Amino acid sequence: MRVALIGCGEIGWLRAAALAETPDFRLTVASDIDVARGGALAQKFAAAFEKDWRAAL
């Protein structure tokens, strides 16, 4: 299942890490208004990044 993560703060990082360990789930896009924070999470988990959550969906 492909997953979009909206919000890349502390909880977002925990969710992304859990998704990475869960078979059949793949983080495909991360979204956050903070480009540096969201971009770092997206890069770490090999996902795309969108600043606007609507574009992520």
Residue 9, pLDDT score: 98
- CA end-to-end span of the chain: 14
What is the per-residue pLDDT for 39? 98
Question: Mean pLDDT of all residues in the chain?
Answer: 97
Determine whether 32 is exposed, middle or buried from the number of CB atoms within 10 Å of its CB (0-12, 13-18, 19+): buried
Residue 33 confidence (pLDDT): 97
Tens of pLDDT along 17-39? 999 999 999 999 999 999 999 99
Cα→Cα distances 53→23, 24, 29, Å: 25, 23, 10
pLDDT at 12: 98
Q: Stretch 36-45: mean pLDDT, rounded?
A: 98
Dmax over Cα atoms in the chain, in whole Å?
Answer: 29
SS3 call for 12: helix
- For residues 1 and 11, what is the distance between their CA atoms, to the nearest angstrom? 20
Domains located in the chain, CATH noted: 2-56 (3.40.50.720)
* Share of residues in the chain with pLDDT > 90 (%): 100
